[in-house]
A and B are shown apart, each in its own frame.
Chain A
Amino acid sequence: MSAINYDVELKRAGAHATRGWRKYTFLAGRHVLGTIGLVIMVVFVLAAIFADVIARFDPLQVDSVHALAAPSAKYWLGTDAFGRDVFSRIIHGARISLAVGLGSTALGGSIGVVIGLASGYLSGWVDLIFQRIIDILQALPLLVLALVMTAALGPSLENVIIAIAIPLVPSVARVIRANTLALRELPFVEAANAIGMSDTRIVFRHILPNTLAPLIVLATAQLGSAILTEASLSFLGLGIPEPYPSWGRMLSESAAEYVRTAPWLVIFPGIAISLAVFGTNLFGDALRDILDPRQRG
Chain B
Amino acid sequence: MLITLFGISVIIFVLLRIVPGNIVDILFDAAGFVDPADKINLERELGLDQSIVVQYLHWIGGLLHGDLGYSYVSEKPALDEILPRIPITARLAGLALLFSAAIGIPLGVLSALKQGSRLDYVLRAISLSGLSLPSFWLGLLILMASVSMFGTMPIYTPNPQSFGQAIAIYCVPALAVGFRSAALVMRITRSSMLEVLRQDYIRTARAKGASETTINFRHALKNGMLPIITVIGIEAAFLFGGLIVTETVFNIPGIARFLVEAIRWRDYPIVQNLVMFCALIVVLANFTVDMLYAVFDPRIRYND
Contacts and interface: CB of A to CB of B under 8 A. Distances in A.
B128 A142 contact: no
A136 B4 contact: yes
Interface residues of B, number: 51
Given A140-B8, A152-B15, A255 B249 contact: yes
B140 A259 contact: yes
B136 interface: yes
Contact of B129 (A232, A260, A274, A285): A274
A8 interface: no
B282 A147 contact: no
Interface stretch (A59-67, A75-83, A235-243): A235-243
Interface string A237-267: 1100000000010010011100110010011
A296 B194 contact: yes
B275 A151 contact: no
Interface in B126-142: 128-129, 131-134, 136-137, 140-141
Contacts, number: 143
Contact of B144 (A140, A143, A263): A263
Contacts of B237: 141
B140 A136 contact: no
A140 B282 contact: yes
A231 interface: yes
Given A139-B283, A228-B134, A270-B141, A256 B16 contact: no
A143 B251 CA distance: 19
Secondary structure type dominating chain B contacts? helix
B191 interface: yes
A153 B18 contact: yes
B263 A274 contact: no
Interface string A198-241: 00000000000000000000000000100010011001111000
Given A149-B15, A255-B249, A260 B147 contact: yes
Given A256-B153, A266-B140, A136 B8 contact: yes
Contact of B263 (A142, A148, A259, A297): A148
Interface stretch (B31-39, B240-248, B296-304): B240-248
Contacts of B282: 139-141
Interface in B227-259: 237-242, 244-245, 248-249, 251, 259
B128 A281 contact: yes
A144 B187 contact: no
A246 to B, nearest CB: 12
A68 interface: no
Contacts of B264: 237-238
A251 B244 CA distance: 15
Given A142-B241, A143-B242, 5 more contacts: A135-B7, A140-B279, A144-B278, A248-B134, A275-B132
Interface of A: 132-133, 135-136, 139-144, 147-149, 151-154, 224, 228, 231-232, 235-238, 248, 251, 254-256, 259-260, 263, 266-267, 270, 273-275, 277-278, 281-282, 285, 295-297
